[in-house]
């Protein structure tokens, strides 16, 4: 195999989403570290020539790692994610760290925030050209030390770039985004010795009702992106042309039909589901199926098993795939709710919605695979970032 000039180190590497994205952009994935066995086994199978290590990263001596050009790492975000009820006191740390004296049985916010400092520790040792990763937007709004954390990167002579983006809209010509709305805060720290910083403007394809197909511009409700991140407000997209007055546009996103596997068996809803024994489906589930039957007629659709959500058509993206639970049910419609068929999305379908190829070797039990998928950085989002990083590192 030809040796690649651009190399990357991946901390909190999980199921390999960011590693796959960087590999697809021409990087040599040289180092990958994670603390759980299924992730390490997945990484070793996917990248056999990579130096893959199983370790508690908070205790890792970074002098033991070879230096690469780029460091990629997304600190743990479970306690501020929607899937974690946005409550730090209910989150469970995914690292094997000891609680503070007298705090046994409680989640210590500071323990999981330690993972953000691990990126700094690695950069202090290896002086990477670029450090990048992602987190949920509330990483910036809820963690009180976010601004001091950024100042530490400035002290290490890094330029700071923060992007608030939906993975569904991180697309390039020939590189479609994922069919999944997944809003994340992307960060990219570029060392000042490099001549320029990556162009991280989000420019997805869109359709303007006046101008037709365009490449959309991202605009903020307030003038400074950092203030938007702190305010928890998303960007809006507008047409780039003056002639229409920069009308608001909705970026084009891949449909969920792209990842579905036709022909998988469903179970008749009237027969119930098996939970140690067969039990009827919840009334709320049946209500949502009824909504879908009225809205989509005889076409299949997705029921979203979350609060404040109902149904999706095949031409829409999914909502965010999480590490815990399966929230998307495929419905094969019939004349009545009872006669309609239901199945949950498969592991492979959810992996596709995160951008993984079908031959990506996920390891572990079904529950462990779901966690690897739900916690992953979408492959296409990592590819979007890595293509831009490659341009300034070449």
How many Å separate Cα 341 from the centre of its chain? 30
First to last CA, the chain: 20
353 and 321 in contact (C-beta within 8 Å)? yes
Helix (H) or strand (E) holding 20: helix 17-24
**How far apart, in Å, are the Cα atoms of 37 and each of 55, 78, 115, 368?**
10, 19, 19, 10
312 and 321 in contact (C-beta within 8 Å)? no
Which of 20, 77, 239, 393 is catalytic? The answer is 77
74 and 377 in contact (C-beta within 8 Å)? yes
Give the torsion through C-alpha atoms of 43, 48, 54, 57, to 10 deg.
-70
**How far apart, in Å, are the Cα atoms of 260 and each of 32, 134, 140, 360?**
30, 27, 34, 17
Rounded-to-integer distance, Cα 201 and Cα 213, Å: 18
392 and 189 in contact (C-beta within 8 Å)? no
Say whether 188 is catalytic.
Answer: no
165 and 186 in contact (C-beta within 8 Å)? yes
Closest CA to 116 of 76, 56, 64, 160: 76
70's tokens: 């780029």
Is 63 buried (19+), middle (13-18) or exposed (0-12) by CB count in 10 A?
A: exposed
31 and 47 in contact (C-beta within 8 Å)? no
What residues act catalytically?
77
């Amino acid at each position: 195999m030809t040796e690649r000039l651009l190399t990357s180190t991946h901390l909190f590497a999980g199921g390999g989403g960011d590693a796959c994205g960087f590999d697809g952009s021409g990087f040599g994935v040289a180092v990958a570290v994670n603390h759980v066995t299924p992730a390490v086994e997945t990484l070793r199978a996917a990248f056999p020539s990579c130096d893959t290590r199983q370790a508690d990263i908070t205790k890792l001596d970074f002098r033991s790692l070879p230096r690469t050009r780029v460091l990629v790492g997304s600190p743990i975000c479970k306690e501020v994610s929607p899937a974690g009820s946005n409550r730090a006191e209910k989150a469970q740390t995914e690292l094997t760290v000891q609680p503070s004296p007298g705090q046994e049985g409680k989640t210590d916010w500071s323990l999981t925030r330690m993972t953000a400092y691990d990126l700094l520790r690695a950069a202090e040792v290896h002086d990477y050209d670029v450090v990048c990763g992602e987190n949920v937007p509330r990483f910036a709004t809820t963690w009180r030390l976010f601004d001091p954390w950024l100042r530490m990167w400035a002290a290490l002579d890094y330029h700071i770039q923060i992007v608030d983006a939906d993975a569904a809209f991180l697309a390039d010509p020939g590189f479609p985004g994922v069919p999944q709305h997944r809003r994340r805060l992307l960060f990219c720290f570029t060392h000042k010795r490099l001549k320029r910083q990556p162009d991280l403007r989000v420019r997805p394809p869109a359709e303007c009702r006046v101008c037709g197909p365009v490449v959309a511009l991202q605009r903020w409700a307030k003038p400074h992106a950092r203030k938007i991140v702190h305010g928890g407000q998303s960007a809006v997209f507008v047409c780039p042309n003056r002639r229409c007055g920069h009308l608001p546009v909705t970026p084009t996103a891949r449909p969920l039909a792209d990842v579905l596997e036709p022909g998988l068996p469903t179970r008749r809803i009237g027969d119930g589901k098996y939970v140690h024994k067969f039990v009827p489906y919840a009334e709320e589930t049946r209500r949502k199926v009824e909504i879908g039957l009225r809205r989509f007629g005889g076409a299949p659709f997705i029921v979203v098993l979350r609060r404040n959500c109902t149904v999706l058509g095949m031409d829409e993206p999914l909502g965010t795939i999480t590490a815990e639970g399966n929230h998307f049910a495929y419905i094969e419609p019939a004349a009545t709710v009872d006669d309609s068929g239901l199945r949950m999305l498969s592991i492979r379908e959810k992996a596709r919605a995160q951008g993984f190829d079908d031959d990506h070797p996920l390891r572990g039990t079904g529950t462990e695979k779901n966690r690897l998928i739900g916690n992953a950085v979408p492959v296409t989002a990592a590819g979007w970032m890595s293509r831009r990083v490659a341009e300034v590192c070449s």
